[in-house]
Amino acid sequence: MIEGSMNNASNFVETVDNAFIFIFGISLFFLFGITIVMVYFVIRYRKSKNPTATHIEGNTTLEIIWTVIPTILVVFMFYYGWSGWRFQRDAPEDAMSIKTIARMWSFSFQYDNGRITDTLYVPIHKPISLDLQAQDVIHSLYIPAFRLKQDMVPGKKDIVWFESGKEGEYEIFCAEYCGLRHSYMKTVVKVLSQEDFDKWNTVDTTAVVVDNTELGVRLAGKAIMRKYGCIACHTSDGSKLVGPSYKGVYGHKVTVIRDGEEVEVVADDEYIRRSIYEPNAEIVKGYSKGLMVSYKGQVTEDEITQLIEYFKSLSNN
């Protein structure tokens, strides 16, 4: 167990809170101190009591005092802040690594066994290191209860870590404005006991069961859409978000812009696969290029097949 994680949501709560209280306390002290002295002077040296102003040349002792004391205070603030930050940077070697992906507009978490989720599950009393990757624009992983925040910059590899000492559910936000549906990038981290975590981690929900009933197909499709955050931009009810709705797409004619030219294509299996693996090769007319990133290497062929079945079911009625 890492020092400081005992009963706190994370091992950083103590250091961050101490630095905060220290800085806040000093600021409060000076706010009141200066205000009181100022008010006192205004009254004490008002015109009726002190009609002629005194010319003061300076006072070396005072100058030294008000330079040295604030310098010492600021150095302490820096020390507190810096030591807390250093500690957040150095993940222990035995930390469990979870790949954390941010894209417009969702987070997803990928575990060593290949499992991908939109909620972060972690065991209690175990150091966890999050391997951060932004796929499109700058995002920022923010877990207020853990006192943890780190920008996620495309092309830059950053790692943050934590150890939680308190089971529960804590909010995760994106703290860097990343476009239209930025505020939808919220999810949670669930801190479980080791047994519950192991149980969760062995029951495999990645392989969504497909039976051939319409309900089965829809459940599987919805689960995949949630897992990869497609629902940030697409709906299944016909309403437009950032991308077109899936309703009524399959088997119908779609007007797309390919190499700057408008062409009509039929949305068949191949078209759907291309839309997911090379989304910017053909842009549906009326929508913007560059918003949807390729899901090659993430969405598997099996999942594409399931999605196609799902889209078919949305176009049948």
Tell me: does residue 132 bind Cu ion (CB under 5 A): no
CA-based nearest residue to 54, from 63, 45, 42: 45
Which tokens is 43 given? 């009254």
Min separation Cβ 104 and Cu ion, Å: 7
Q: Give me the helices (H) in 90-127, please.
A: none
Task: Provide the mask over 137-176, with x wherever binding to Cu ion is found by CB under 5 A and - wherever it is not.
Answer: --x----------------------------------x--
Look at residue 192 and give its three-state secondary structure: strand
Q: Rounded distance, CA 81 to CA 296, Å?
A: 41
Tell me: does residue 287 bind ligand HEC (CB under 6 A): yes
Tell me: does residue 232 bind ligand HEC (CB under 6 A): yes
Among 117, 133, 150, 275, contact with ligand HEC (rule: CB under 6 A): 275
Return the one option of Cu ion, ligand HEC, none that residue 178 interacts with (CB less than 5 to 8 A, by type).
Answer: Cu ion
Quick one: 142 or 311, whose CB is closer to Cu ion? 142
Contacts of 77-80 with CB under 8 Å at 24 or more apart are: 77/19, 77/22, 77/23, 77/26, 80/15, 80/18, 80/19, 80/22, 80/23
Residues numbered 293 to 312 that lie near ligand HEC (CB under 6 A) are: 295, 299, 307
Length reported for the chain: 317
Q: Rounded distance, CA 238 to CA 311, Å?
A: 12
Min separation Cβ 194 and ligand HEC, Å: 32
Return the one option of Cu ion, ligand HEC, none that residue 287 interacts with (CB less than 5 to 8 A, by type).
Answer: ligand HEC
Quick one: 120 or 185, whose CB is closer to ligand HEC? 185
Return the one option of Cu ion, ligand HEC, none that residue 148 interacts with (CB less than 5 to 8 A, by type).
Answer: none
Tell me: does residue 84 bind ligand HEC (CB under 6 A): no
Q: Rounded distance, CA 259 to CA 280, Å?
A: 10
* Strand residues in 157-260 grouped as ranges (E): 158-162, 168-174, 187-192, 253-258
User: Residue 179 — φ and ψ, nearest 5°?
Assistant: 115, -170
Tell me: does residue 178 bind ligand HEC (CB under 6 A): no
> Cα dist. 84→128, 162, 307 in Å?
17, 12, 46
Residues numbered 211 to 230 that lie near ligand HEC (CB under 6 A) are: 228-230
Quick one: 14 or 136, whose CB is closer to ligand HEC? 136
Quick one: 178 or 304, whose CB is closer to Cu ion? 178
Counting residues that bind Cu ion (by CB under 5 A) gives 4
Q: Rounded distance, CA 45 to CA 168, Å?
A: 59
Quick one: 182 or 273, whose CB is closer to Cu ion? 182
Q: Rounded distance, CA 30 to CA 66, Å?
A: 12
Tell me: does residue 242 bind ligand HEC (CB under 6 A): yes
Return the one option of Cu ion, ligand HEC, none that residue 174 interacts with (CB less than 5 to 8 A, by type).
Answer: Cu ion
Task: Provide the mask over 172-201, with x wherever binding to Cu ion is found by CB under 5 A and - wherever it is not.
Answer: --x---x------x----------------
Tell me: does residue 254 bind ligand HEC (CB under 6 A): yes
Residues making contact with Cu ion (CB under 5 A): 139, 174, 178, 185
